[in-house]
Structures are given as structure tokens and as C-alpha cells.
Amino acid sequence: MTRDVDTALAEIDRIRAQLAASTRFRGFTPAIAATTGLLALALAASQAAGFDPSPTVVEMLVQWVFLAAACAFLIAGDAVVRARRLHRAMADAMIDAASRPFLPMGVAGAIAAIVILLRAPQWAAILPGCWQLLIAMGIFAALPALPRSLVWGGAWYFVAGTASLIAGAGATDISPWIMGVPFGIGQLLVAILLHMGLRRDHHD
């Protein structure tokens, strides 16, 4: 009897996971995406204005690491609250399905930053391109749970990441805009695409 109950519960969990993987996640909001894009542009503008008289490439990138962490917590917190309101009983499974593709990307980006900044700072200029390519891969991997139009957001990060990687290869100094423009425009584009998806869902 206990084994039958365990089997039934496992089957329910499997079905719920399949439903979550095939259902559009509605926890990401345009306002939060746009906010993170504006924060990226603001940090780039601040660095470009030279409020810090002589920042090194490493110091600049450390600031971006802190901003990325703050934006990740902002997006995650808003997504969890919104998902619990909209997806109700399916919320946990939906959050897991939508966030799982981004977790390896985040871990890989953090490892690359730690290793390069601590052990090979002369390569620090390639980090912006690497981070942008990782975001593109995360978006592409999460597309089954996201509005299909976000493929354009992934494409932007892929193209911008490639350009940033080429610009950073062999460079000893980088412009703050090599981070600010790709992330700022990328997140504002994601916000527009999310808004269009929400409007489409409303009309449907």
C-alpha cells in the first residue's frame, strides 16, 4: 500500500513537472527587466564620467559583478512573488522550470569572473563578452518556458557578446559602455518583448 502511494505521488510530481515545462512562465515582468537595463546604463554612465579618478579594469568589472548580483536578486524575488500569485499550486514547479537553465549560466559566469579576476586579471577585458554569451545561452535554453519572442533578446545578447569578446580580446583597457550598452539595450529589449507577450496573452 505504501509503495502504491509513493508511486502515485511520484507520478503526480512527474506530470506536474511536465506541465510546468510546457507552460509559459509569467513571473518575469517588463518593469523589473527595464529597471535592470536602466541600472546597467546608469553604472556605465557613472564609470564613463570618471567619478573614480583611475579605476582599473578589474575594479570596474567588480562593480558590474555586484550590480549583476543585485539585479539577479531583484528579478528572482519579483518572479517568485508573481509566480505564486499567478501559477498558485504550480508555482514551485514553474519557478524551477524557468530558472533551471539560468543557474548553470550564473555559476559559470561567477567561476569565470573569480578565476580571471584573481588569477589572470590581464584577461579581464574578455569577461563582458563571456557574460553576454552566457546570458544568450540561458535565454535560449529557457525558451520553452518563456514567450517565444524572447528569442530576439537571446539573439541580441549573442551578437553583442560576440562583438564584446572580439573587442576585449588582447585589450588592456575597456570602455564602461562595452558592458552598459549590451546589458542596457538587452534588458530594455527583453522588457519590450515581455510587455508584448503580456498584451498578447491578455487579448487571447
Phi, psi dihedral angles at 98 (to 5 degrees): -80, -35
Provide the whole-model pTM: 0.83
Q: Which amino acid is at 1?
A: M
* Residue pair 93/133 in contact by the 8 Å Cβ criterion: no
Mean pLDDT computed over 52-56: 68
CA distances from 40 to 26, 33, 200 (A): 24, 11, 28
- Calculate the CA dihedral of residues 117, 110, 62, 137 and round it to 10 degrees: 110
Taking the CB of residue 104, how many other CB atoms lie within 10 A of it? 13
Look at residues 201, 36, 168 and name the one whose alpha carbon lies nearest to residue 44.
36
Taking the CB of residue 140, how many other CB atoms lie within 10 A of it? 17
For the record, the C-alpha cell of 195 comes out as: 510587455
Highest mean pLDDT among 103-112, 117-126, 149-158: 149-158
pLDDT of residue 9: 46
Mean pLDDT computed over 33-37: 96
pLDDT at 52 over 90: no
| DSSP notation for 88-103 | GGGHHHHHHHHHTTHH
* Lowest mean pLDDT, pick from 21-25, 75-79, 110-114, 129-133: 21-25
Phi, psi dihedral angles at 24 (to 5 degrees): -70, 130
pLDDT of residue 22: 47
pLDDT at 7 over 90: no
Average pLDDT, the chain: 83
SS3 content of the chain, % helix, strand, coil (to 5): 85, 0, 15
Regarding predicted confidence, which is higher, 103 or 24? 103
